[in-house]
Amino acid sequence: MITVVNERKVKMNEKNLSPISDSEWEVMRIVWTLGETHTNQILKELQAKKNWSDSTIKTLIRRLVQKGWLTAKHEGRRYTYTATVSQTDMMYNEAKSLLNRMCDMHKGEVILKLLEDSPISKGDLMKMQEEISQKEKTAPDMVPCNCLKTGSTIC
């Protein structure tokens, strides 16, 4: 018998979703990598990386189900979990949220620094070059500061 505990599909723009902690991110990374997975697989993978008890990991999983980030199916004696949102969507929304709190004038510098510090495949670099070529056609000479209401400040 299969019992679905939480089958809600998450839309990244839903306002009632709770943010997740760094520890919950660790659980989500395992689920995203494995796809549909069960408790024992999550425990095994996380305990290979972290010195966390079974109960700590199970608590993190339970919270992610309650928050709507994981779907849980009860199959016989075990639960199977699936992420309700893709890793790329989640990472994009986290990065966008952070960038939205920054000065517009300095976002390019931050993105450039991230590019320098991040491992990136040749395929992704080619996609970035294409996007840069397109953005270059309409990019302003300078992005104004948006820290003050007047927007005329150079910071």
Segments making up each domain of the chain, as ranges: 22-83, 102-137
CATH tag, 22-83 = 1.10.10.10
HSE-CB for 15 with a 13 A CA cutoff: 0
User: Tell me, what amino acid is at 4?
Assistant: V
HSE-CB for 59 with a 13 A CA cutoff: 7
What is the structure's pLDDT at 100? 94
What is the structure's pLDDT at 18? 81
What is the structure's pLDDT at 15? 39
What is the structure's pLDDT at 14? 46
**pLDDT < 70 stretches in the chain:** 1-17, 151-154
Nearest to 27 by CA among 73, 83, 90: 83
Whole-model pTM: value is 0.78
Distance CA 90, CA 92 (A): 5
Which runs of consecutive H residues, i.e. helices, occur in the chain?
22-34, 39-49, 54-67, 87-100, 107-117, 122-136
What is the structure's pLDDT at 72? 96
Are 77 and 2 a contacting pair, CB within 8 Å?
A: no
Are 65 and 110 a contacting pair, CB within 8 Å?
A: no
What is the structure's pLDDT at 153? 65
